[in-house]
Chain A
Amino acid sequence: MKLYLKVWRQEHRESKGNMVSYEVDGISEHMSFLEMLDLLNERLISKGERVIEFDHDCREGICGACGMMINGRAHGPLTGTTTCQLHMRSFKDGETVYIEPFRAAAFPVLRDLKIDRSAFDHIIQSGGYISASTGQAPESNSIPIAHEVTEAAFDAAACIGCGACVATCKNSSAALFTSAKISHLVLLPQGKLESADRVIKMVGQMDAEGFGHCSNTEACEVECPQEISVLHIGRMNYEYNKAMALRK
């Protein structure tokens, strides 16, 4: 099949970008979306042009490195799917496809489709952990945890940190990302001790990074490749208010 691509090209952080058109033929429906871009890049090299830069690594939907807006949707048309797991059978011959980076004030573009998501690292650094140094752990079965509790914590811990939630949010809010970590840790008995301090610091850092506020459109859940529930945002707000009310 043949596609008409409009791809965001930008030299570096400070420069202005623009959409550039490419025609790509010889695409098979078994190709992944990124393999289609590989094919285009291979052709750009043979023409002596600079390749389209994009982040990607595992190509099996788990590392969270890839992510682009495809026809205005984070990670493209499918739900519960990262860009690398999207295959060309989801597109029609002759279609025009717009490809842009994940956009947010807190995610500056480095080049083309590559962005800087270190703001997410900063949020985790502010408190997204359980303070258990190596050597301090008790025997693992000494803390029984109900099956449902572990499963619920897992659902939140499944976040891969790709940033689709931010990119799709009209406020560029990182509420889903931050709340998933807060839920993961507060649900588990090991994580409860630090919960008040954690939620205050993480929410503060989220704001400091320049992410917007959540206005409950729930678009993030729709685009999240791990289908993380917006109910975690409710829990984050509850934990935050509780922590603020009880703060000494």
Chain B
Amino acid sequence: MIDAKIPAGELADKWNNYKDSSKLINPANRKKLDIIVVGTGLAGSSCAATLAELGYNVKSFCFQDSARRAHSVAAQGGVNAAKNYKNDGDSVYRMFYDTIKGGDFRSREANVYRLAECSLALIDQAVAQGVPFAREYGGYLNNRSFGGVQVSRTFYARGQTGQQLMIGAYQALMRQVSAGKVKTYTRHEMLELVLIDGKARGIIARNLETGEIERHAANAVVLATGGYGKVYYLSTLAMGCNSSAIWIAHKKGAFMSGVSWIQFHPTCLPQIGETQSKLTLMSESLRNDGRIWVPKKAGDERVPNDIPEEERDYYLERRYPTFGNLSPRDISSRAAKERIDAGCGVGPMKNAVCLDFSKAIREQGRDKIEEKYGNLFRMYDKINGVDAYKEPMLISPAAHFTMGGLWVDYDLMTTIPGLFALGEANFSDHGANRLGANSLLQSCVDGYFIAPYTIPNYLSGELKSEKVTTDHPAFIDAENNVREQLSRFLNLKGHLSADHFHKTLGRLLYDKCGLSRTRQSLEEAVVEIRALKKSFAHELKITGDNGVNSELEKAGRVSDFLELGELMCHDALQREESCGAHFREEYQTTDGEAVRNDKDFCYVSAWEWKGEGAEPELHKEPLVFETVQLTVRSYK
């Protein structure tokens, strides 16, 4: 049994109890400690900057050309905080409850409570950094609503909340670079994790410009490398998003949890062609004013504007009258799939639903809608050449956020001592489904407020441990592994590109381990992925050399996605219930709602890598609910 090390005490006191009793390191000793932070998104940048402010020596790595570009920038809608500025009954407890219910009771009470608790300080921190959150005319901060809740607790900066929070964290990081406390390694990719005496003590990184392989030693390693939704190829993620850092850690002994819990975002642009590389997300905030519908009649060939009101099926309002168009993401996405599968989809590939603003424009005026969502309407027009003020947007669910990731305890430490995982790279906090605007929150809270307490708590025990240098045999072995893999890729004499394998894997996972899964589809997927892996090992073709080479970068990432994809299917197979984003068709009510099984599956699945070709081993962390009562999650 694995231990999450939840502190003692009442739910509301646990984090304070932890902080009161965690071990401290005096400022003179902090200068002697080195920390590697991989990833410069919100979690990575905020953690690196905050640790540097405290006096630790930080090395910050990212594969992009600047720390500012990590995919946190793409989050549009907002960040949640229980400030209760709207006086509408919000509180830390209510936010905690919404989040744990939204996650279908598959997350830890203590973690989720801490997330809600720290949300208050995050808004303060971001404002102090100069993040231009929306303001009312009186000068006070404004809020809006997001899916799955009945209060307004979402802070936003037009449709670019992620970008603006990211700029705040990036600037904090740059400030520490100029102070000499952070050294940044941009265009670097982590390719190995170095363990010494079972503890994380460094990484091997490849310089993506020169191809040089570098060794970096530290007293602790932090992975803040984001989610792996790009495993589906077509997704809302950036092209470079990948699972390699966490997968490398997994193969070195870190457990993975909630691996198959992938959120499909309900409001994305649909696929319209085979060469498409991206399914662009349109912020969930659009559902505040947009109404979702499909034609009542299957196979309706008319364009949406020609379909009269009485022949439209506002299926979310029909099925979930209480939450309507603001139903949580998993429910909205599944409801869309249900209608599309029933033949009621719209658009050239009949794979989309309508998101209609005509009522909102009639009631509030075009100017008001433009002020709220102008940039999103412009983006829609740029991509599709369609004016959404005049006709409905066509949207479709797309792979988006991974609730799963590296298993971490309450300290955000993985099962490898000294290896921490932050933000989307870990599995914690969101259970089986994440609520909108909780992602920016979690990555910031992990980086600004949690890791800067928990990492020193670990490091206090490391002050007396031996100083490690990069000529240690463990570094030499790790570097040799990396060199072998790179030269194997470059010398393969195949004929298919890395993208070919990535797209094939993505299609397979969408079909068999996507919005809904069955035992049969998952078993088939495992067999097919294994075959694809074999083909990848022989038929891959990489052109170019060991300098700047995007194909070589992709090869490593796709290789890891193939292995991760198989674990996703194992995880989905083993969990014989439907919860949150994990919908097993065998476990549903007669009207198509998910059936959770608390008797047999009220635990976190933590998977251990057992080697190439071997079945992964399952460890269970029971979920203990002391405060909330497990209920059927209803939004009707």
Contact = CB atoms under 8 A, between A and B. Distances in A.
Contact of B128 (A32, A48, A130): A130
A129 B160 contact: no
A133 B53 contact: yes
Contacts of A158: 160, 163
B543 A146 contact: no
Contact of B129 (A32, A111, A129, A144): A129
B622 to A, nearest CB: 34
Contacts of A81: 382
Given A129-B129, A130-B128, A51 B544 contact: yes
A141 B124 CA distance: 8
B276 A57 contact: no
Contacts of B160: 62, 158
B544 A58 contact: no
B163 A160 contact: yes
B548 A137 contact: no
Contacts of B548: 12, 53, 110-112, 114
Contacts of B88: none
A134 B163 CA distance: 19
A31 interface: yes
B172 interface: yes
A19 interface: no
Interface stretch (B135-143, B217-225, B469-477): B135-143
A85 B128 contact: no
Contacts of B385: 87, 89
**Most A-side CB within 10 Å, residue of B66, B70, B170, B276:** B66
Interface stretch (B173-181, B318-326, B332-340, B578-586): B173-181
A153 B130 contact: yes
A125 B157 contact: no
A56 B239 contact: yes
Nearest to A58: B238
Contacts, number: 229
Interface string B60-75: 0000111111110110
A32 B277 CA distance: 9
Contacts of B630: none
B139 A124 contact: no
Given A49-B543, A51-B543, A190-B128, A60 B68 contact: no
A120 interface: yes
Interface stretch (A35-43, A166-174, A231-239): A35-43
A34 B497 CA distance: 17
Contact of B136 (A49, A116, A147): A147
Interface in A63-116: 63-65, 78, 80-81, 85, 87, 89, 110-112, 114, 116
B543 A44 contact: yes
Contacts of A60: 74, 278, 280-281, 379
B139 A39 contact: no
Given A63-B69, A85-B382, A50 B543 contact: yes
Given A85-B383, A130-B129, A125 B178 contact: yes
Interface in B528-556: 541, 543-545, 547-551
B619 interface: no
Contacts of B133: 140, 150
Interface in B99-148: 121, 123-130, 132-141
Contact of A57 (B67, B83, B240, B541): B240
Main SS at interface, chain A? loop
Contacts of A245: none
Contact of B238 (A49, A59, A127): A59
Contacts of A153: 130, 132
Contacts of A30: 272-273, 276
Interface string A162-203: 000000000000000000000011001011000000000000
A23 interface: no
A137 B544 contact: no
Nearest to A123: B174
Contacts of B50: 133-134
A133 B52 CA distance: 10
A114 B544 CA distance: 15
Nearest to B186: A118
B452 interface: yes
24 contacts: A45-B541, A46-B497, A51-B543, A57-B64, A58-B69, A59-B277, A61-B382, A63-B69, A63-B238, A64-B73, A121-B68, A125-B175, A128-B174, A130-B128, A132-B128, A132-B129, A133-B172, A134-B448, A134-B452, A137-B127, A140-B123, A147-B137, A161-B68, A190-B127
Interface of B: 46, 49-50, 53, 64-71, 73-74, 83, 85, 121, 123-130, 132-141, 157-158, 160, 162-164, 167, 170-172, 174-175, 177-178, 184, 186, 209, 238-240, 272-273, 275-278, 280-281, 378-379, 382-383, 385, 448-449, 452, 495, 497, 499-500, 541, 543-545, 547-551
Interface of A: 11-12, 28, 30-32, 34-35, 38-39, 42, 44-46, 48-51, 53, 55-65, 78, 80-81, 85, 87, 89, 110-112, 114, 116-118, 120-121, 124-141, 143-147, 150-151, 153-154, 157-158, 160-161, 184-185, 188, 190-191
Closest 5 CB pairs of A and B: A144-B139, A129-B171, A137-B128, A132-B128, A137-B124
Given A58-B73, A64-B69, 17 more contacts: A46-B495, A57-B240, A62-B162, A80-B378, A118-B186, A128-B171, A129-B171, A129-B174, A129-B175, A133-B53, A134-B46, A137-B121, A140-B128, A140-B141, A146-B135, A154-B158, A157-B130
